[in-house]
Amino acid sequence: MSENLVRVRFAPSPTGYLHVGGARTALFNWLYARNQQGVFVLRIEDTDRERSTAASLDAIIRGLEWLGLDWDEGPGKGGPCGPYAQSERLPVYRAALRELQDRDRVYRCFCSDEELERRMQAAKDEGRAWDGYDGHCRRLPAAQIAAYEAAGRPACWRLRTPPTGVTFWYDIVVGKREFQNEVITDRVVVKADGFPTYNFAVVVDDHTMGITHVLRGDDHVSNTPFQLMIYDALGWTPPKFGHMPMILGPDRKRLSKRHGAVSVEEFRDQGIIPQAMVNYLALLGWSIGASGDEVMTSEGLIKKFSLKKVNSSPAAFDYDKLEHINSQHLKRMDPDHRRALALPILAARGWSYDPAWQVPGASDQHTYVDRLLALLGGRFSSLRTLPDQLVFFFREDFPVDAEAWRQQVAGAAGRERLAALAEAMDRALPADRPAGAAAYEEVVRELAERSQLAAGELIHPARVALTGQGRSAGIFEVMEALGRPRVVGRLRRAAG
RNA sequence: GUCCCCUUCGUCUAGUGGUUAGGACACCGCCCUUUCACGGCGGCAACACGGGUUCGAACCCCGUAGGGGACGCCA
């Protein structure tokens, strides 16, 4: 490992899905690694044997892959610092514990949960502060220790933390942070079951994996001084730390399920595309600066990303802006990519092109969908709404907006106009040849003039008859994409 | 309760001693138009408060208030 090579990591615990907070942490690490041409490591923190599940791990990996955040070392990839799951690194932690024992920086703690609970209660009752542990076993007489050991009493290992002084570091995001040592208690380093705690495993892994920058959520700030004490106890040089601000809900409370979607897969299911998710997440807590387009691809983000521009204040998640970024990506995407997104959505519904429709320029599903998406243009702003926007191009039993129908079609005038329009088209357009938008428009305008109507008085009823909706893309283009047989058929049907 | 952090339009943010405090989302209006979008143009809207420092503070210092986070043999 070269000295100045950046090595960063994302270290989720497999106890749930990949939520936006985790996704953003992963993203920032990934962006930094890619920007610096460093290495991005994925490490699985599964030291909690109760809560870790294979299903969660799958979900997290799926989420990362969906976002396009590829890792250089980790599960499925291997690497020189493996294994990359903490549950498989027990020997590494054991060696580190031995080192701490040799240096007399840890001690055994025999306190049971009940005892701890009792002393905490007592402290509270007497109005004394209780900040996690009272150092009881630190002062245990040797004879007592021997007795407990002989009895086989379960014990964990606690770090002997310095009682006075200060521990500080220069945080990449907020600058100097310092803690008085007396507020840091002798936390557990190895549990009674022999597994390391999070704080211990993180330090050992970050060190043995050569991590140079630890970029994580702000909720880890208070763990940092304790971790620095572990580095110190082991005689290791700590990495640089950067704590990213939290992501808040619209109510400025920590973002959670009750705010709406929080897992990246939920966003995917709601029609958000990964490029947009990545783009939006990057904008949350980081800024491109005064100039520059906010809408960026991952490549653009990598080029622009800088830790210096990461904000120190928590940011509220804005679903509206995500939608906007999403629509921008969809709109700017090249036609092939747009079609690739649309095709599976249509296929899932069994909607496919039929040559009998006589649509000019369309010969199969691909060419037809290309036509439809071109016609939709900027209206194609979400994957979720796409089926509603296209249903009437594929089915005759498309939904009809009742209010629009009542206003435009239901009355005698509406029906008469539609009947007249149907006949005019039937007469003017050759039955065996596809008609273009201009041809439809000519018929409509001619009839309008002949009947002394405004063109709109034909157009609006036709739109409802043809699409079921009061609004749509340009109606003549819609007619062209529907094809003559269906246009005439639907007009007649609506005319009753 | 203890410790730590944060504070520019409703939201995301630019800004690091002298700016008409800029952009984006949302919202409103106008234009475009067969409707709806898109797009274009314009508008509304912010330096939490109080003291300092300074010729001059959004920017520096100190308080206050508000918000967030952490206090596990969870991670």
The 3-class SS string of A147-194 reads HHHHCCCCCEEEECCCCCCEEEEEECCCEEEEEEHHHCCCCEEECCCC
Are the CB atoms for A41 and A83 separated by under 8 Å? no
8 A C-beta contact, residue A486 and residue A431:
no
Q: What is the pLDDT of residue A126?
A: 80
Q: Is the CB of A364 under 7 A from strand B?
A: no
CA distance A98 to A106: 9
Per the structure, the residue whose CA is closest to nucleotide B25 at C1' is A321
ipTM: 0.95
Strand B contacts in A 424-463 (CB under 7 A): 455-456, 459-460, 463
Is A192's CB less than 7 Å from nucleic acid strand B?
yes
Q: In 3D, which of A41, A27, A117 has the Cα closest to residue A75?
A: A41
Give pLDDT, residue A290: 73
Domain residue spans of chain A: 90-244, 257-331, 334-496
Which candidate, A44, A34, A43, places its Cα nearest to that of A6? A34
Per-residue pLDDT of chain A (496 residues; tens, 9 = 90+): 556 899 999 999 999 999 999 999 999 999 999 999 999 999 999 988 889 999 999 999 999 999 999 999 999 999 999 899 999 999 999 999 999 999 999 999 999 988 998 888 888 888 777 888 988 999 899 999 999 999 999 999 999 999 999 999 999 999 999 999 999 999 999 999 999 999 999 999 999 999 999 999 999 999 999 999 999 999 999 999 999 999 999 888 889 888 888 899 999 999 999 999 999 999 999 998 777 799 999 999 999 999 999 999 999 999 999 999 999 999 999 999 999 999 999 999 999 999 999 999 999 999 999 999 999 998 999 999 999 999 999 999 999 999 999 999 998 999 999 999 999 999 999 988 889 999 999 999 999 999 999 999 999 999 999 999 999 999 999 999 999 999 999 999 999 8
The closest nt to A173, taking CA to C1', is B5
pTM of the model: 0.93
Number of residues that make up chain A: 496
Q: Which two tokens stand for residue A321?
A: 């802006």
pLDDT for the residue A432 = 84
Nucleotides in chain B near protein beta carbons (<7 Å): 1-8, 10-15, 22-26, 34-39, 67-75
Residue A240: closest CA among A222, A258, A227, A255: A227
Is A257 a residue of the active site? yes
CB of A90 within 7 Å of some strand B atom: no
- pLDDT, residue A129, reads 76
The runs of H, that is alpha helices, within A305-411 are: 319-332, 335-349, 365-376, 386-394, 402-408
A90-244 adopts what CATH topology?
Rossmann fold (3.40.50)
C1'-nearest nucleotide to the CA of A280? B12
In single-letter form, the type of residue at position A433 comes to R
pLDDT of residue A484: 95
Question: Under DSSP, is residue A85 helix (H, G, I), strand (E, B) or coil?
Answer: strand
Residues 6+ away with beta carbon under 8 Å from A232: none
Q: Is the CB of A221 under 7 A from strand B?
A: yes
Predicted confidence at residue A2, as pLDDT, reads 53
Indicate if CB(A381) is under 7 A from strand B: yes
Exposure letters A211-227 (e unless 16+ CB within 10 A, then b)? bbbbbbebebbebbbbb
Residue A188's DSSP bridge partners are: A158
Closest protein CA to C1' of nucleotide B6, residue: A313
A334-496: CATH architecture = Orthogonal Bundle (1.10)
**CA–CA separation, A68 vs A62, rounded Å?**
10
A308/B40 CA-to-C1' distance in Å: 35
Could you check: is the Cβ of residue A136 within 7 Å of any atom of nucleic acid strand B?
Answer: no
Shortest-distance nucleotide from A325 CA to C1' = B25
Query: Which residue is closest, via its CA, to the C1' of B12?
Result: A284
Q: Which CATH superfamily is domain A257-331 in?
A: Glutamyl-trna Synthetase; Domain 2 (1.10.1160.10)
Would you say the C-beta of A380 is within 7 Å of strand B?
A: no
| Angle of CA points A17, A20, A24, to nearest 5° | 120
